[in-house]
């Protein structure tokens, strides 16, 4: 998870992942969309590949990169734990209280109707 988090920490690498989300691209196509050198893009692609976030295949002399979101699952689960409340317990408690209140109100109104 640390390697994946480190790989996506850089804004250029995040942009590369977004580009690859739509379609596989060659290293040259990726480099052509940035104002930085091709060797710098190659280093970014290597970091993403080493983290398992992209796969590359040879197409003649070119390397074609595709996105692999599998390594993001563990990180997404961990991040989800930060953004969700620390448990559903308090929500279930509130639901249980509401159910009991509703039942009590129904019993009371039914009892009042029979008495009238």
- Say if residues 47 and 13 touch (Cβ distance below 8 Å): yes
CA 68 → CA 18, 43, 60, 105, distances in Å? 11, 18, 22, 54
> What is residue 41's predicted lDDT score, i.e. its pLDDT?
95
Whole-number Å distance between alpha carbons of 83 and 65: 31
> What is residue 112's predicted lDDT score, i.e. its pLDDT?
67
Whole-number Å distance between alpha carbons of 48 and 90: 40
CA 37 → CA 1, 34, 43, 44, 92, distances in Å? 28, 8, 10, 11, 55
> What is residue 9's predicted lDDT score, i.e. its pLDDT?
92
Looking at the DSSP bridge assignments, the partners of residue 58 are 63
Residue with tokens 């590359």: 56
Assessment of whether the complete model's pTM goes beyond 0.85: no
Pair of tokens at residue 38: 């091709």
Looking at the DSSP bridge assignments, the partners of residue 16 are none
- The helix/strand count (H/E) of the chain reads as 6, 3
Average confidence (pLDDT) per 10 residues, the chain, 116 residues: 88 95 94 93 95 92 93 85 66 78 80 65
Give ∠ CA 47-75-42 in degrees, rounded to 5: 10
């Amino acid at each position: 998870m640390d390697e994946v988090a480190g790989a996506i920490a850089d804004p250029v690498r995040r942009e590369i992942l977004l580009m690859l989300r739509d379609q596989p691209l060659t290293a040259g196509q990726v480099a052509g969309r940035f104002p930085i050198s091709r060797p710098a893009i190659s280093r970014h692609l290597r970091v993403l590949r080493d983290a398992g976030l992209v796969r590359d295949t040879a197409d003649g002399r070119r390397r074609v990169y595709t996105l692999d979101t599998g390594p993001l699952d563990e990180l997404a689960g961990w991040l989800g734990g930060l953004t969700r409340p620390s448990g559903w317990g308090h929500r279930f408690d509130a639901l249980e209280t509401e159910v009991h209140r509703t039942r009590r109100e129904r019993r009371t109104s039914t009892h009042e109707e029979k008495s009238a």
